[in-house]
Amino acid sequence: MLEVQNVSYTYANRYQTNEVLHEVSCTFEQGQMYAIIGPSGSGKTTLLSLLAGLDLPTKGEILVDGKLMTSMDRDTYRRDTASVIYQSFNLFPLLTAMENVMFPLQLRGKPMAEAKTEAMKCIESVNLKESVLNQRPQRMSGGEQQRVAIARALAAGGGILLADEPTGNLDAANGEAVVAILKKLAHEKDYIVVVITHNTSIAEQADVVYRIVDGRLSTGAAE
Amino acid sequence: MLKFQVFLSCIHIKRQLPKNILVFVVCAAMVFFLCSYASSIQSNQEQLNSLPEILPVSGFISNLNGSRNLGLLISGSMVDSLEASGFLKDMLYTTRMAATYAAKETEKPKIVYLMGYNTLTPYPSIRPDNLKDSEVFFKGQNAQCIASRRFLAQYHLSIGDPVKLDLYWYQFGEVPGQMTYEHLAQRTLIIADSFDSSVVTTDLIQLPDILFPIGWAKKTFAECDSPFYYDSVSFRIKDPMKMNDAKALMKAQGLLSVNPQASDSISGSTVVINDETFIRSATSIQNNLTLLWMFLPALTTAILLASAVMAHLMMHSRRGEFAVMRSLGMPKQACLRVYLMESMLVAFPGGIVGMVAALLFTALPFSASMAVLAVFYLFYLLGAFIAVRMLSRVSVAAMLFAVD
């Protein structure tokens, strides 16, 4: 379970400070798919980066299964617990699809052969064509790249999947397929899936929808 | 983990082969160029250092208008001071004397010409018949002499016989043919060897009958309280790079420069130094060296900065990848190690190839090449280190997420 307690986040530089999140509190539970919606600049992505352990809140706390994130090794948290998929996929451009999926496994010290077997299972679960396995990202379609990104997140296998506009660069068919995979992960594999989206049809498919406006969070149905 | 980092570095190098080959070649070229430049400086410096051997600077003492370098009156004390200064080497001096000699007391004495040397080396046509080491003989002060075969035959003398001489010192006068004689002392010389005076082809004004060590003459003059004069003096400058000091010393000793307008004289008051070729060559090499040294800091800085910037750019273009690695939980140090390893795996062999090429095609010694390579690596590592430091400050979240 992920708990966000009175979290505020302020971007500050030499000239100005900007409070992007203001005392946000929410909870994310296993087996549920969450959608976070809101206008551009409302703080959605900032919340996601805090949930991913890429940054720390200025105020408030985030708890992972009851443990304070500030007391955890965030590298280990990202490696073993939370994975992120992005609108722009963020695959390693020099690695093949298979190598991208194997990366988190090898990072955890799995031998090559074992990592390959596990990566193959993840790839199968996202219905990725075998023909792209040895291709590098620039030769894949957007849908294929996002599937590889999801497979890589699955390979990390931590139980928390955070997605930033995962269908933003995909056509409708691929977008629907990706959402179906995310739902399946939440409902069948007991993942916490948090999706940031502008797309109301995706939000409608989520179990819980949070709306952020001007850094303040509210619960509500998608518009 | 280290195995995985090495694997990643290798795979990155393999997948970016053209770019890495370019970096490899550029690194090799930079090291080769730096080594070549260093080699050029070294070879010029060596040329300059060996110039005194290749182009020795010689000089001699002449009269004021430069028309004579023999038959002069050259102050012995002045020459001794010059020799003691340490600026000159290979000094050759001669002195001449005349004597009267009668084989029997009843006979009328005849004039005999004598020549004193400190060495016979520069006069290959004068060779003693038996003496193995004439150098030792002429460096000594013994009352011995080498007589011409003609002289021995004329007076029925043999090697080992004493020759009792009434010595005079004499000088040629200002007018051709004019000579001045002054009685000095009576001395006996033992004939140590003979020589063939018929093959003497030097520009000696009067072929000598007797050759003697100059040290003996100096001793004899001292015994008679007479000032000693050399007939001719020539020398080499010991270190032509300190020629100005040598010239200053000579000037301080009262030696003048040649004045062609001056009237003829027998006073050895002028020094002539044949240094034009040396000065021209040394100036040319020195100018080259000055230019090379002048451009060295700028050139080295440019090349080393270029290598640092290259290392920096190689990593800067990988910021996105760095952010993804970090987001997947790879520790910062491990990520940076991958990039550093990758950078070094390309640059180090490149540098070594450049150094080997320099060893093959330039005269730079191994130690100097190694020093150049080390400096190059240092700057490349510095560039890579700065890039790594900058990478480590990248906001991973900002790199990964689209603008919200």
pLDDT tens-digit series, residues B49-85: 999 889 999 999 999 998 888 888 899 999 999 999 9
Q: What pLDDT was estimated at residue A89?
A: 87
B11, B327, B329 member nearest A80 (Cβ): B329
Length of chain A: 223
Residues 6+ apart with CB under 8 A from B273: B57, B58, B59, B237, B243, B247
Asked if residue A105 is part of any domain, the answer here is: yes
Residue B46 has pLDDT above 60, yes or no: yes
Give pLDDT, residue B255.
Answer: 93
Please answer yes or no on whether B329 and A42 come within 8 Å at the CB atom. no
Residue pair B58/B243 in contact (Cβ under 8 Å)? The answer is no
Q: Is the pLDDT of residue B203 over 80?
A: no
Confidence of residue B396 (pLDDT cuts 50, 70, 90): confident
pLDDT band at B176 (very low <50, low <70, confident <90, very high): low
Distance from CA of A188 to the nearest CA of B (A): 24
pLDDT for res B165 = 94
What's the CA gap between B135 and A145, in Å, rounded? 95
**Between A and B, how many residue pairs show a Cβ–Cβ distance under 8 A?**
86
Position B223 scores a pLDDT of 94
Indicate the residue of B4, B323, B329 with minimum beta-carbon distance to A79.
B329
**Share above pLDDT 70 across residues of chain B, in percent, rounded to a whole number:** 96
**Mean pLDDT computed over B195-217:** 77
Task: Tell me the pLDDT tens digit for each residue of B304-360.
Answer: 888 778 877 877 778 888 889 999 999 988 888 888 888 889 989 999 999 999 999
User: Is residue A1 a part of any domain in this protein?
Assistant: no
| Mean pLDDT score across all residues of chain A | 89
Is residue A50 situated within a structural domain?
Answer: no
B18 in reach of chain A (CB within 8 A): no
How long a stretch of residues is chain B?
404
Integer angstrom CA distances of residue B299 from B166, B259, B357: 75, 49, 20
Determine contact: A45 vs chain B, CB below 8 A.
yes
- Inspect the interface and report whether the beta carbons of A86 and B401 lie closer than 8 Å: yes
Average pLDDT over residues B267-291: 93
Would you state the structure tokens that stand for residue B235, as one six-digit string?
Answer: 């020398």
CB contact under 8 A, B397 and A54: yes
Q: Any residues with CB less than 8 A from the CB of B148 and at least 6 apart, and which? A: B194, B195, B196, B197, B207, B208, B209, B210
Mean pLDDT of B224-249: 91
Question: What is the arithmetic mean of pLDDT over B357-386?
Answer: 89
Chain A residues in contact with B314 (beta carbon < 8 A)? none
The whole-model pTM stands at 0.70
Closest by CA to B311, choosing from B20, B9, B16, is B20
CA–CA dist B185, B168 (Å, integer): 7
Phi and psi at B304, nearest 5°, equal: -70, -35
Which chain B residue shows the shortest CA-CA distance from A38?
B404
Question: Order of strands, edge to edge, in the sheet holding A2-12?
Answer: A17-28, A2-12, A59-64, A67-68
Q: What pLDDT, in 10s, does the model give residues B92-122?
A: 999 989 999 998 888 899 999 999 999 988 8
Q: Is residue A11 part of a domain?
A: no
Q: Is A187 a domain residue?
A: yes
d(CA B334, CA B341): 10
Nearest chain B alpha carbon to A82 = B328
- Residues near A2 by Cβ (< 8 Å), separated by ≥ 6? A27, A28, A51, A62, A63, A64, A160, A192, A194
Least confident of A44-48, B29-33, B206-210, B365-369: B206-210
With CA atoms as reference, the chain A residue closest to B333 would be A75
pLDDT of residue A206: 92
pLDDT of B290 > 90? The answer is yes
Mean pLDDT, chain B, as a whole number?
Answer: 88
- Dmax (CA) of chain A: 52
- Compute chain A's Rg from CA coordinates: 17
A192 is in which domain, residue-wise?
Answer: 30-45+74-219
The percent of residues in chain B predicted with pLDDT above 90, rounded, is 54
Closest CA to A7 of A65, A70, A66: A70
Nearest Cβ partner of B401 from A41, A75, A164? Answer: A164
Total domains in chain A come to 1
A39 touches chain B (CB under 8 A): no
Residue B227 clears pLDDT 60, i.e. is over it: yes
Tokens of B76: 């012995």
Q: Which CATH number belongs to the domain containing residue A195 in this structure? A: 3.40.50.300
Residue A69: other Cβ atoms inside 10 A? 20
CB < 8 Å to B7, chain A: 106
**Does residue B206 register a pLDDT over 70?**
no
Rounded Cα–Cα distance for residues B200 and B150 (Å): 12
Residues of B in contact with A86 (CB under 8 A): 400-402
In a domain, A14, yes or no: no
Return the domain boundaries, chain B.
2-50+281-400, 58-274
Cβ distance of A45 and B404 shorter than 8 Å: yes
pLDDT at B177: 66
- Check if A109 contacts B (Cβ < 8 Å): yes
For chain A, say whether B401 makes contact (Cβ under 8 Å): yes
List per-residue pLDDT tens for chain A, 223 residues long: 899 999 999 987 778 888 889 999 999 999 999 999 988 888 888 999 999 999 899 999 999 999 999 999 999 999 999 999 988 889 999 999 999 999 999 999 899 999 999 999 989 888 888 889 999 999 999 889 988 998 998 898 788 999 998 888 778 887 888 889 899 889 998 999 999 988 888 888 999 999 998 888 887 654 4
ipTM over 0.85: yes
Q: Is A175 a domain residue?
A: yes
Determine the pLDDT at residue A222: 45
Decide if pLDDT at B404 tops 50.
Answer: no
Q: Yes or no: say if B268 and B78 are a contact pair by the CB < 8 Å rule.
A: no
Buried b (16+ CB within 10 A) or exposed e, B330-351: bbeebbbbbbbbbbbbbbbebb
pLDDT score for B403:
41
